[in-house]
Chain A
Amino acid sequence: MEIATNQSGNVTVLSLSGRLDLTAGVALKETVMKSLENGYGKIHMNLDKVDFINSSGLGAMVSVMKEIRIRHGRMTLSNLAVYVNEIFEITQLTHIFEIFPTQEEAIASFEKVTTA
């Protein structure tokens, strides 16, 4: 799993690629915590190049989301591949995460929060 970090305005954009499993989950948590410690609470994850997520990967995502919430931040996701979307549906995480079709839409949403 590779995690590329970029800033888009005041939103930290994490572009993930590869398999999001136990090992990658640890790396993801570290990256998000670093961003939070640097004062960036608005985080977007582009999952375009993620081709696999398992339980541990999902656990890591829920865990970082909780950390972000505790710090009054916000996290969005975009570009879910078919399989990734399938596991999000199975685990009903579509209710938990704010998921957008594209990164642009997700980043624009930080400008204007609307009802879920």
Chain B
Amino acid sequence: MTKSIEELFLLLRSKDAGERLNAVDLLADLSSDESIAGIVMALEDTDGAVRELASDSLAQMRGDTLTALLSEFLSSENIRTRNLAAEILVRIGSEAVIELIQYVKHTDHDVRKFVVDTLGLIGDSRAVESICEALWDENVNVVCSAAEALGLIASADTVEALIAVSDKIIEARPQALEALGRIGEDTAVDYLCERLSDEERLYVYTSVEALGRIGSAKCLPHLLDLLNHNSLQIASEAFKAALTISQGTAKSVEECVSPDRLCEFVRDGFILGEEHILNMAERNDEIWQNIDFIESILSEILSLPNESRNILIRVAQKFSDVFAKTILEMFGEASADCKLALLDILEVTSEPAGAYEVTKYCSDESDELRARLALFVGKMGNVDSAKTLARLSRDPIGNVRAAAFKAMGWLGLESEIPILTAGLGDEYIDVRNAAMGALVMIGGQTVIDNFTSDLVHNNVERQRLAASALGFIGEDDVLEPLTKAVGSSEAAVRRVAIEGLAKLETFFDFETVLMAINDEDESVQQAAMTLAARNFPQKAPAVLKMFLNDDNVWQACHAISALSEIDSNDTIEMIQGALGHPNNIVRIAATEALARMGATSTLSALRKQDPGDNDDLKCALENAIQELEEEL
């Protein structure tokens, strides 16, 4: 039932927040001046969800009433309400500007300041004149806000006024200088250069920053003069600005500073991810000869942004010896997190011999680090790490054991086969799979023999792993055990054995395939269909055909998929026949298979298909027809 506006106002005063929320929702639908007033009231609700909905609803609305009401709220004593009103006005944007301008001369200086801030955030140039007047407000906070706002609006016409304010109202100088930088006009450069001689460091710093933003070449000599300023912060900002202005190409910028100071600038640049400094550092080979400098950057590795880390990795590749030496020296003292980050760099710098040194940290308390170190030493390929990996393969944490097994596989050591074989019985599947994968990597007769024995292991999981592994090992020697495994009493083993046989070029036993195709288990049948199509393309169609009318639609679909791997007119004809299947899922599978095969001869049949009200079939038909037409 529709509620009147009076009822909705009553609901807004309900004790139940849910009812108040509902009221705001309904008022928003009305979108009248009265309803807007009600929603504005809800901005002061005690419940956050009600305030949020009110705020979102108002931001979607427009109109003078709304702006006027919200502007009134800027004088609210409740700072939360005031902020919310300002936020909505900013979201409303340009449409609120004319109404807001009227409040720039409000009697309350807090309101004036808030209005100027809001106008600045909206960034509409129609407010420039009023804000310029506010530059001479009796309240200094309003003046500072006005300067900031002009910087945000960035109108070139305000440069002169900002310079005047900077000169006359010293408290607003930092904001005025910053605004001049944001505006980016060359006309401010001379004034900003003059400010570089100010005693107050804040003014100097802000001017340097502003000059960097403006980017005028004429200030470059002034910035270079500051590179040895006794304030590192100012010198560093001047360096950054000079590099930006010279587009990172002027060698003179680097030559104007001492090597130590240059290192400090670069270190700051890495921490802040400053593009120009990072680029300069990458092409400056000299600084990377300084081990203390490298160590100081690496010690900050956790706080470095991604761009900085990427550059560091590139540089580390170039100067691998010095980086590897530095990292290995500091590794012991580093935290676990830091060690993890350092390993990223060590990976690109180390040689097997150097990498071995980190194995002594494989007893670290952090299991994440132990796992990472296991992978690291495996990746580095140092066979001396085998003992450490063997120890980690007995770690109480599964992830560490899995990492140790993976690494053992990469090292490819036959001597570790017994340990890896023991891992096949681990309680966690990830660890078992890692051990199996490692044994696959090692391969060879011993591994094949072990897995062949496992095919009759009393543990079914061991049988499954064995059949799977033999398939991946893929040598001729696995043909016999895998063929035997097709006769396993466990369906999972039979399935992976069939999958393994499908990878062998030397498998010609169609009788085994026929048995598997008639298996009692669907997944075995499906694996056998794929095997038949891949290894016996001549004989397979006749056998697979019977599945096309199977009661089980998924078997029919799988048969279609297997048949589609055989490129012949017979298979195309069979699949085309499935377009008349009573089940739409099979029809879709057939349609997609014909498109995949590029069977343009079936276009006419596809066009005649009636998908009825089945959208999926309709879509499949449209796509298939389009693809085949494009092939013609």
Contacts and interface: CB of A to CB of B under 8 A. Distances in A.
A70 to B, nearest CB: 7
Interface in B322-349: 344, 347-348
B314 A62 contact: no
Contact of B440 (A21, A72, A90): A90
Main secondary structure of the interface of B (DSSP, over half): helix
Given A95-B375, A115-B313, A115-B344, A55 B406 contact: no
A110 B473 CA distance: 32
A113 B317 contact: yes
A41 B468 CA distance: 36
Contacts of B410: 62, 92-93, 96
Interface of A: 19, 21-22, 52-56, 58-59, 62, 66, 69-70, 72, 83, 87, 90-93, 95-96, 112-116
Interface in B456-512: 468, 472-475, 503, 505
A93 B165 CA distance: 65
A91 B310 contact: no
Nearest to B469: A90
A62 B441 contact: yes
Given A92-B409, A92-B434, A95-B375, A114 B310 contact: yes
B124 interface: no
Interface centre among A54, A59, A113, A114 (most CB of B within 10 A): A54
13 contacts: A21-B474, A54-B473, A55-B447, A56-B475, A59-B441, A59-B443, A62-B412, A87-B440, A91-B437, A91-B438, A91-B472, A92-B434, A96-B379
Contact of A59 (B306, B313, B412, B468): B412
A52 B503 contact: yes
Given A95-B406, A114-B313, A115-B313, A52 B474 contact: yes
B347 A55 contact: no
Given A54-B443, A69-B351, A96-B410, 16 more contacts: A19-B505, A21-B474, A54-B475, A55-B440, A55-B474, A56-B443, A62-B381, A62-B412, A66-B381, A69-B381, A90-B472, A91-B438, A92-B410, A93-B410, A93-B441, A95-B406
A35 B512 CA distance: 45
B379 A95 contact: yes
B433 interface: yes
Contact of B313 (A52, A54, A113): A113
Contacts of B310: 112-115
Contacts of B443: 54-56, 58-59
B306 A58 contact: no
Contacts of A69: 351, 381
B344 A83 contact: no
